[in-house]
Structure formats: structure tokens, C-alpha cells
Chain A
Amino acid sequence: MDMLELRGIDKVYHSRGKPPVQAVCALDMVVEKGEIVALLGSSGCGKTSTLRMIAGFEDVSAGSIALHGRQIHELPPARRKVAMAFEGYSLYPPLTVRENIAFALKSTQLSRADASRRVDEIARLIEIDDILDSYPRAISGGQQQRVSLARALVRDADLYLLDEPMGQLEPQLRAVLRGRIKSLLAERGMTAIFVTHDQTEASALADRIAVMEGGLLQQFASEKELKNRPANLFVASFIGEPPMNLLDADVIRSDGGFRLSIGSGMTFDIGASALSREAARTLGETTKVRIGIRPQKVAVGTGNVPVKVVSNQWLGDQSHVAGDCGGRMLIAVTQGRVAARPGEMVPFALEPRHFHLFGVDGTCIRHAEVS
């Protein structure tokens, strides 16, 4: 069942003496009940604007928002049945942590005992039960953030909006809380949208990720799909750590397929059988493409692409080897250690079946084969 439906949302900010800024452009998105969605993107990509439009603190410039079958984009925030945890915590300074969390339950019909039980329950889950009687200014930023999160999650709402919910937390705690929050949301069938710029957090917590850039929704899909079938060059290079290797190539028709030349006499052949009809037609009409290949798919020590090693880092469970290939940087990730020092020549293997191909305008022509 659809819980939240965004249709053609535009957000334009007008400020005096400056050209208007389009923060969000023609955003369509449907979130199902019980789904956890991440809005992922760099700063200024429109993700927080989107969240604030759903909450009702920003007007939509165009488009409509429906929540649980109700049109809500013209309702005041109080009547939208939405809970939100703010990036700046926004706790009430004169109230204790306990009162801050319980405050969110005041307008409900819960009895005092029930409300108190729920506060204790959520406080235990988020590990703030020891500071319940402190005042906001007496606790650390990370604790304030957790209180703000608790204040949002303790409510009964149709939708939970979390703005950078774990930005201030230490890595260990973040991993623990991620798991707990995910199981809490899943257990109660709560629908949530959270904003983050941390890919790990997005993939760990969310069922689906909406990648945004420049006010446009680039792709809205599961983490696996974003990785394996990126909709365009932006998503391909944005998702994945380290980022995807990109090489410019000339397209030459050859017998029964195409030959991609990346310069210095290095070429790769792609047989027509490895391409969909659509991809083959697009490739036939173009002379230049960008090849994208995940660092995890680049093999080191074999192959026919000679690379001069620039750095070789062992991260404890994998090696990142960066090399210079005719002026372009290539990164390979291998599971074991690699015996290669900076300055040495090492062969890299790039296999055409792992190639994503993008047009010059960034649209995707072909995805890599999933092995």
C-alpha cells in the first residue's frame, strides 16, 4: 500500500535581488507503508528541502503530497500526522530529557503511566536512560541528537522524518543504533524517510535509497540496484566506495561488435551478443563513450593494462591500489595484500563484461554483467 506519494514537487526559493533558486525539481516518489527510505545526496541537493516540504515548514511551489490517502501539502504541520527529528536537535531548553520526550505525547490521549512507559522504552533502546533527568544544555551533542531521535520515534505518526539522524554519533554507537532503529521501525511497521549524506548509513538502514543531485531525483532504488544498474553517470560515480573508475573511450565499429579505444593503443572488444539491441543501436550512433568500472572488478597483477602504481594502501581487510594509466587514475580493490610499491609498473586487468557504458551526456547505455 502506498503511504506517501509525492507528485511533481517543485521548490523554488525567491530572495530579493537574486535569481530564484530551484531547490527541488519535478520530484515524483512513492513510498510504501513500512518502508524505510533514505534521501542521499551532497549538500544543497534538495534533500532537506524535500523533507521540510513533507513536514510542512516549506510550501511546495508546485505539485502535491499525499500521506495515507490524504492530501497534506496544504495542511498546517500540526495536522499532517508526521513526526520529525531535526538536524539541530531542537530540544526544549527548560525541560528535562524525559519531559522533552514525553512532551511529544502530550497531545495524545495516553494515560500518564502509559506515556511514561513508552518514554522509558524508547530511552532504553536509544541508550539515553541514564540522562533522562538531565537538561539539554548539560548533555553532549551526540546525546542531544539521540534525545531528538527519541522524541520523534516515541510518537504515533503516519510518517517519521529523520534529518541526519546520526550525524553526531560515534561510529560504534552509530552501528549499534542503526540496527536497533531498523528493527524498531520494522517491528512496528513504521514508515520513515531519513536524510543522510553517508552511503553506509543509507545502505544499512534503508530499504530503498533516493539519490538526489541538483534538485533532481536521479534514481530511487534498492542499494543493490543502485550499485549494479545505476541510472546515469552521476549515480554510478556517487554510489560506491571508492568511486567507480571512469575512462573516456572512442567507439569504433568492428566485426560483430564494437571496439572501445582508450588511447595509448589500448582497446577492448565488446561483442554485439553482449549488448541489448537498444544499447547496440545507441553505440552505433555515437563515437565517444565513458567506460565505468568498479574498483572491486579491477584485477591486479594480470591483464594487459600497464599501470604505474601511485599508492598502495592495506586497509586491514582489503588493498586499495591506485595507479596512473596514461594520465588517468585507476583504482583497484583486492581482497589480499598486493606487493607493489609506488613507482612500479603493474598490470591491471579490465574486463569488458564489467564495463558500464555511459553516453557523453551521462545517460546509461549499458550496465555491467552481474556475476
Chain B
Amino acid sequence: MDIILNLLPHIINGLALGLLFALIALGFMLIVGVMELINLAHGSLFALGAYIAMTLIDPNIAGWGSFGVWYMELSLTLRYVIGLALAPAFVAIVGMGLEICMRRTYGKKAEYGLLLTFGAALVIEESIRIIWGSSEQFLPVPEMVSGAFIAGGMIYSNYRFFAAGFGIFMIALVWLFLEKTPYGSIIKAGAHDSEMVRALGVNLTVLRLMVFGLGASLSAVAGVILTPIWGLRPHVGVDVVIPAFLIIVLGGIGSFWGAVVAGILVGLVVGIFGAYASEWSLMSMYILLIIVITFRTRGLFGKKSALEN
């Protein structure tokens, strides 16, 4: 009993972390599911979203004239909402641009897409360095969700719970979109058999463009929500893309609930591991992956995928 009580805070933290991991993996899952493309630029789009949101929330208003003055008089909460809404839209455009470049690699080996997005990740990261500089920055959050509270002798940050709640909200939203709308049906059908979908008269080119844009904007949402916790630096993308990749494979490529369950599982493992050896906590997820993949090639809920060849 004592052990459980001692572990409880770590389990709660782990659960919250797991929801955040699941949030990161959502956009990645969408792209890998429909396009069978490992998007290594996911993390850089995440960082780009966060940087754009930071600029929208706390802009350098010199030279903006009366509009700048008016804008800065808006409350922080309102500006935060504007950032959270507009940054993903910008990133979606960048993602669509990337998808247009990507078209030449369709039909070739999956590694080409992976390599191209690796190059894109490098380019986006360096562009961030040019525009915003290399030093660590700070993304402001509204007062409503900042601060901390104490429960059972442990300090919990409000923002973490807000972020976890937002994670649940986004997961529900994406699930509703995929399951309850005609667009979701088309996307899922495209993931299942793209040739048949094309034969039914769906414009596959546009579908892929939209899915990539949507996936990119989801990674940007995750970036805006998460960087207040993890800090905002140009190479934050690398810290993000690998867990996202790992969660998708752990859950099984093409499985929505697989990604969510794997995200929470990874969060829990990292949280509980952190209770005993905090230095090594992030390594536990790789060990988890190696163990699972050694025994279950396709992950926890995976089905056969073209990426295996």
C-alpha cells in the first residue's frame, strides 16, 4: 500500500505526460496512417508552431503603429488564443509546401520520404535559428492556467493539468473528426486502399495535401501547448520527433487508439521510472520499445503496413 501511495504522484505525472505524448503523436499518426510516410520534420513543425505562437502572443511591436498598440492592449488570454489558433494555420501552409515537394518521392521506397523530411527538418531548424536566434526563449501563458497547487504534500503545476486536459480534448476532437465526419471516412479509406479511393472519384492529390496540412497543424498545436513545459529552443524538434515516432510504432502504425494507449503507456513508464532513477527516465521508453518490438513486430495494435517492405 505504501508503495502505491508513494508512487501515486509519479503515476499522476506520468499519466499527464502520457496524454501530452499522445497529443504529439496525433499529427504524426495521421500522416503515417494515410500517406505511409515517416515525417521526420514533425518535430521541426512542432517547434515552428511554438515560435510563431510566441511571436503572435508577445510580438515586438516596434513599427506596427497604432495596430501594434491596439494589439498589445488585448488581454494575454486573448492573444494566447489567437496564437493557438493562427500558428497551426501558418504551419499547415508550410506543411502543404513540404507535401508538394514530397510528390516526387511517391511510389519509391519509404526511405526516400524519410530522408527528405530529415533534410526538411534540418532546413526548418536552421531557419528558426536565423529568424529567432539560438537561445532558449519563453512562451507566455495566460494567468488562468499558470501557477501551482499543493495536494498531499506534492506540488503540481496548473499548466500541466491544463495541457493534459487539452490533450484529451484534442484526442477527442481528432477521433470525432475521423469517425463521425465524411472527411474522416475518406481519410481512413485512403489509408486502407488509396487506389480504390481514387477509383471512387476522390481527388487523392488534394486529399494528401489536406492530410499533410492537418497533420502539420496538429504538430503545431502540440508545440504551442507543450513548449511552456519543455522550453523553447530551435532543436526542441529532435526531442519531440523521436518520442512521437516511437509511440506510433509502439502502438502500431495506422491504429488511432494504439497511438493513444502507447502515448499514455510511455508517459507512465517514464513517470514511474523517474521515481527510481530520474536521470535515466527518458531512456526507459527506448527500452520499452525494444522489448515490445522484439516480441510484437507490428506494435501493440498494428496491422500490416506497406512500410514493412
Bind each other: no
Please report B residues at the A interface, Cβ cutoff 8 Å.
none
Please report A residues at the B interface, Cβ cutoff 8 Å.
none
